[in-house]
Structure 1
Amino acid sequence: MNYNNIVYQEEGGVVVITINRPNKLNALNRLTIEELRSAIEYADSNSETKVIIITGSGEKAFVAGADISEFANFSVTQGVELAAKGQETLFDYIENLSTPVIAAINGFALGGGLELAMACHFRVASDNAKMGLPEVSLGVIPGYGGTQRLPQLIGKGRAMELIMTSGMIDANQALNYGLVNHVTTQEELLLLCKKIATKIMRNSSVAIGAAIKAINANYKDGINGFDVEIEAFGKSFGTADFKEGTSAFLEKRKADFPGE
């Protein structure tokens, strides 16, 4: 796979996708969003892929925001289309993916960069990371799900303050808020993410996908998350992974999940 703005690497069931626009601090433009979607779709279609990690190139930024030069002169209609297409193409797609996606935040994650990280299933940050949604300082609001996902992750009051002030928080404050799961050094960031990925890979990919769907259901309007959980729980009993998992437990051996 050849890409202009990302680097795709796979090793032992873990795919690492690196946003590679260092001269732009890895800012998101339309091509990068399209390439990310293509790469994630390709990874997800491969049965060997168990975990996807998204990170940024260099030491300064995960993604420092959207590429403002692309939309500075947009009309109202174009603005609506930009947000709707971006959410459908990438951000909502990642959130609802059955393959676990980890954001490895190395440096600045601002605006669309933080929105990308929040769309991932969870986040790990380097100790030099800075996060925020500064859109109101440009006369606009977050458009890739930031006003929805940030309150879900850190609470309404904290999200209101962070968005209204255009402020940034550091990695430790993000950890305290629950925005990230772990903080480590930049040198250890990918190693820690891969270590977590290894733990995930020991388990049933089918069950993990069902759990992601059930967890997400709690945050969707008009959907009863408990009902989704009950249905997914029941369906688990018909999978080959359930048969292997329970057999392995009873036989006191390590499970070898077929992923079916």
Structure 2
Amino acid sequence: MPHTLAVQTPEPGIRLVTLQRPQALNALNTELLGELSAELDGAEQDEAIRVVVLTGSRKAFAAGADIKEMAERDLVGILDDPRQQHWQRIARFGKPLIAAVNGYALGGGCELAMHADIIVASEDALFGQPEINLGIMPGAGGTQRLLRAVGKSLAMQMVLTGEPIGARLAQQAGLVSEVTQPELTLERALQIARRIAEKAPLAVRLAREALLKAMDTDLASGLRFERHAFTLLAGTRDRDEGIRAFMEKRPPEYQGR
């Protein structure tokens, strides 16, 4: 059983993972990242799980890396940091991941949120990359994902000043999809997860891959992938079931085939 996570399956197809280091505002130490990467690996292998929702506490999604742990590492320890392997495993997660963010999402917490496909944030959420205040810089994808999410100017401002932005600006910039009242953040994330979990698994997977392709490839390559994926889905049983269900005015029963 993990020590730094609470893991639940609130309803079929949905795995809810809650960060639980309240004494440190869910700071991301090696133990937490290791348990999280292992949990996501397990969820990816479990065919019954369609979507994962990741959240923290009402006060903090995750307030950054564990500074005390960082202070204990010399240069050799940093170069051989197992946390980098954990981050890589988290980044490779192949199913829809939704982050429900309340309070602080700073440093590694902001980077973790950006690993999600969809971010739902509370009105009091703060997103930031304050590493520059410690004489360092983001090291878990913060510079790369943030710029792709909010654009060059705002990303430069956030990283070079270390100043966070609020949820409304994060939504306007494209980092966040929805802003909710704090008490409704997790509920809304679970609602979105439920809608995704009801869809055809193969269609969700390929649609997600096509959208991610658009972030790191040229338009022509992205369009080729989209056409290929569309053609593959046209030959699936789920496509036939979806059309029959629509014609018969009933909910579809997808099998992932």
TM, length-normalised to structure 1: 0.91
Match of 2:25 in 1: 25
Which one is further off, 31-40 or 67-76?
67-76
Change (3 A) 1:235 1:78: farther
Question: What is the alpha-carbon distance in structure 1 between the residues aligned to residue 119 and residue 151 of structure 2?
Answer: 17
Question: What is the alpha-carbon distance in structure 1 between the residues aligned to residue 205 and residue 183 of structure 2?
Answer: 30
Answer yes or no: is the 8 Å Cα contact 1:5–1:35 preserved in 2.
yes
Match of 1:7 in 2: 6
Q: What are structure 2's unaligned runs of at least 5 residues? A: none
- Whichever residue aligns with residue 61 of structure 2, its letter is F
Q: Match for 2:196 among 189, 200, 211?
A: 200
Match of 1:229 in 2: 226
Q: After TM superposition, give the deviation of residue 24 of structure 1 in Å.
A: 0.6
Is residue 2:146 matched to residue 1:147?
Answer: no
SS at match of 1:151: helix
| Identity over aligned pairs, percent | 37
Q: After TM superposition, give the deviation of residue 87 of structure 1 in Å.
A: 3.1
Q: After TM superposition, give the deviation of residue 76 of structure 1 in Å.
A: 4.5
SS at match of 1:124: strand
SS at match of 1:254: coil
Question: What is the alpha-carbon distance in structure 1 between the residues aligned to residue 236 and residue 10 of structure 2?
Answer: 27
Change (3 A) 1:19 1:132: same
Match of 1:72 in 2: 71
Question: What is the alpha-carbon distance in structure 2 between the residues aligned to residue 142 and residue 193 of structure 1?
Answer: 27
The superposition leaves residues 204-256 of structure 1 with CA deviations (integer Å, 9 ceiling, x where unpaired) of 12111111111111233689222221221111123221121122223333211
Which one is further off, 74-83 or 208-217?
74-83
Aligned residues: 254
Alignment of 1:80-159 (within 5 A): 80-82=79-81, 84-90=84-90, 92-94=91-93, 97=94, 99-159=95-155
Answer yes or no: is the 8 Å Cα contact 1:33–1:89 preserved in 2.
no
Q: Match for 1:254 among 235, 251, 254?
A: 251
Question: What is the alpha-carbon distance in structure 1 between the residues aligned to residue 120 and residue 216 of structure 2?
Answer: 25
TM, length-normalised to structure 2: 0.92
Q: What are structure 1's unaligned runs of at least 5 residues? A: none
Question: What is the alpha-carbon distance in structure 1 between the residues aligned to residue 197 and residue 22 of structure 2?
Answer: 31
- Whichever residue aligns with residue 20 of structure 1, its letter is Q
Question: What is the alpha-carbon distance in structure 2 between the residues aligned to residue 231 and residue 215 of structure 1?
Answer: 14
Answer yes or no: is the 8 Å Cα contact 1:29–1:66 preserved in 2.
yes
**What is the root-mean-square deviation in Å for CA atoms of aligned residues?**
1.9
